[in-house]
Chain A
Amino acid sequence: MFSIKLGLKNLTRQKRRNFITILVIAFAFFIYLFIGSMMEGMEEMSFNNIKNYDTGSIQVAHPEYWEDKDKLPLENLIYLNQDVEESIKNIDGVLGVSPELRFKANLNNGIDEVAVQGMGISIEQYNEVFATQNHVVEGSMFVPGESKAVIGVSLAELMDLKVNDYITLLVRTKEDTFNTIDLEIAGLLYTPNPMINNGIVFVPLDIARQALNVENGISMMVVKTNKEKEINQTISNVNQIFQEKNLNIHAYSWKESAKTVIAIRAAEDAETAVILIIILTIGMIGIINNVILSSLERTREIGMMKALGMREWEIVLVFMVEATGLGILGGLTGCLLGAAGVWWIVKYGYDLGYIGGDMSMYGIPIIDKLYGVWNFSSFIFVFFFGIIVALLSSIGPAYWAAHKDPVKAIYHR
């Protein structure tokens, strides 16, 4: 017990050096917590932006279409009757279904032309599944029966278009013949998902079907569910319907379409591990440095302790308590700084304007601001991790100090 008391009292020695060590540990912890919050925020925002504006919770498609879906083919489309749609809607937790016909197109404004992705949607069903309608910044979404289109603000700026302007979509039909779709711009979008803003033209489903000559075909059916944790069960229920009706159609989780972001997340995990290793190294160096300097300064004191009959492990304990105290103080300070930093990034977010404002170029569907998230378990983890690192890294130098020859230590000058 006295070793513990002495170790704690020793924290009041070399205040400046201890303060710097505590600050170094705290800074390392702050960086870990702050970056961790940003990374998790990025993941959460990315996933929400994918689900709410692109994929929904579940996508239903022909397996061969799914393989080639990035090429936007018009082969292997699916033809669902009202029966199947109703069956899917009746599954527990399903909030809505939205048919989509995705196709390649060139957007022509009369002067310039740019490659885009056309998206034929049934507007009423689409609004049940996606939150896109909440992000119309000018004009409105089209209503059924109108020959109108909705595009993103970025695309409109690129093509110098505004609401009520006319555009022509140049498309190839299922039979690979050229066709055009003339549409008036009904509204401009600015969604949190930059991929939507930059290159998609929303058109009424019936107009798209007619122009592409695909009859009642759709590329996929998007399903929205409110039971995210039970998504696999919902997918299984949807597939059950297709099996019963002997349809070669399959349901896929939104995660299948978010593979890029998930891969980036895996890279971020590796990055977090590297940060953790750096923190560990910084903390260890700080603690080891502190214990070595303390033991050098207190050589005669160590000699006296040994002369009085303290065993080596009792002297080791004195230094370990001191180092652990530094770890605790550094951890607490780091957690306080981290809490302040995370509070700021959660409340105000990081303005992506400093790095171009749009992370879609890195494959991350986030725009304008990146918000952090609170993860209290990472605070608890980093705090106890810090204590353990401090404790373990002090053992070596503490033992080195305690193992000194008592005669040399007492008469050390």
Chain B
Amino acid sequence: MALLELNKVKKIYQQGKIEVPALRGIDLMVEPGEFTTIFGPSGSGKTTLLNMIGCLDTPTEGEIKLNGDRVSDLSRTKLAMVRRYNIGFIFQAYNLIPVLTAYENVEFAIRLIHHLKEEEMKEKALNILEAVGLKGLETRRPNELSGGEKQRVAVARALVKEPKIVLADEPTANLDSKTGADVIKIMVKMNQKLGTTFIFSTHDPQIMKYAKRLINLRDGMISGDERR
């Protein structure tokens, strides 16, 4: 059974009296453990597609199934629960909480889902921070970290709750190419180590080369789907 299944998903935005189609009927299946890139020009619908997969938005037409369960027409609260237990997010602008340390930002995500003992929770958070190369920087706040380090915290935050899918919308766009590559390498490593499914969008061909599956999106439709 596919981890993720999209059937004829359409998304149309209403701008005044004008209907703007963002997705025009997407059919997509993603298997567990895939490391997938969605690429395409600006306005092709990459972010909208990630939002649909991430249960942040609901389609105008079509259905989305996660782990066999239909999630495309759930209520806001139920969608929040689906996101909480199944999906990790990595944002272009990191979106870390500035008053929390690197450790606390990771702890925040784990506390949402696990009711572990304090010591176990701490061990889990510290292990994931070590795995993304942030050992020794746990007590630093976001303003004391570089862009690459911040994005690693975001990766750790996404992974610590052991989600089924991690979605990343242009995770390297705010980083220089070397740092961006380092972050992607960490994602590849975590994909191999934990078997977590990654789907990320990018423009950068240097980043795309790490993906095992490339989905080309154009004008709201999949124009290419290549596995490597």
Contact = CB atoms under 8 A, between A and B. Distances in A.
Interface string B164-200: 0000000000000000000000000000000000000
Given A306-B80, A307-B83, A12 B95 contact: no
Interface in A1-16: 1-2, 6, 9-10, 12-13
Nearest to B100: A9
Given A307-B83, A308-B112, A310-B80, A13 B99 contact: yes
Interface in A357-413: 406-407, 410-411
Contacts of A407: 51, 56-57
A410 B91 contact: yes
A304 B89 contact: yes
B83 A10 contact: no
B81 interface: yes
B100 A307 contact: no
B98 interface: yes
Interface in B46-62: 47, 51, 54, 56-57
Nearest to B51: A407
Interface in B10-52: 47, 51
A307 B54 contact: yes
A6 B100 contact: yes
A308 B109 contact: yes
A312 B84 CA distance: 13
B97 interface: yes
A304 B84 CA distance: 11
A300 interface: yes
A400 to B, nearest CB: 15
- How many residues of A sit at the interface, in one of the four size bands? 20 to 34
Contact of A300 (B56, B95, B108): B95
Contacts of A2: 107-108, 111-112
Contacts of A306: 56, 80, 83
A307 B98 contact: no
B80 A410 contact: no
B210 interface: no
A410 B100 contact: no
Contacts of A309: 80-85, 87, 112-113
A411 B46 CA distance: 14
A303 interface: yes
Nearest to B89: A307
A301 interface: yes
A410 B89 CA distance: 11
Nearest to B99: A9
B111 A301 contact: no
A303 B95 CA distance: 9
Interface in B150-172: 157
Contacts of B137: none
A401 B101 CA distance: 24
B108 to A, nearest CB: 6
B83 A308 contact: yes
Contact of A304 (B47, B85, B91): B91
A311 interface: yes
B77 interface: yes
Contact of B84 (A301, A308, A410): A308
B6 to A, nearest CB: 17
A406 B56 contact: yes
A300 B94 CA distance: 10
User: Which of A1, A301, A407: most chain B CB closer than 10 A?
Assistant: A407
Contacts of A301: 95, 97
Nearest to A318: B97
B93 interface: yes
Nearest to B95: A304
Nearest to B111: A2
B107 to A, nearest CB: 8
A28 B57 CA distance: 45
B56 A307 contact: yes
Nearest to B83: A309
Contacts of A311: 77, 80-81
Nearest to B107: A2
B97 A6 contact: yes
B99 A12 contact: yes
Nearest to A314: B112
Contacts of A411: 47
Interface in A287-320: 300-301, 303-304, 306-312
Contacts of A410: 56, 91, 95
B115 to A, nearest CB: 11
A407 B111 CA distance: 23
Nearest to A411: B47
A411 B51 CA distance: 11
Interface string B90-123: 0101010111100000011101110000000000
A166 B146 CA distance: 97
Contacts of B87: 307, 309
B13 to A, nearest CB: 11
Contacts of B76: 312
B118 to A, nearest CB: 11
A310 B47 CA distance: 21
Nearest to A300: B95
A12 B141 CA distance: 13
Interface string A307-339: 111111000000000000000000000000000
A351 to B, nearest CB: 49
B160 to A, nearest CB: 11
Interface in A251-310: 300-301, 303-304, 306-310
User: Which of B57, B80, B81: most chain A CB closer than 10 A?
Assistant: B80
12 contacts: A2-B111, A2-B112, A6-B97, A10-B99, A306-B83, A307-B87, A308-B157, A309-B83, A310-B80, A310-B84, A310-B112, A411-B47
Ordered nearest first, which 9 A-B pairs have the shortest CB separation? A309-B84, A304-B95, A309-B83, A9-B99, A2-B111, A307-B89, A406-B56, A407-B57, A407-B56
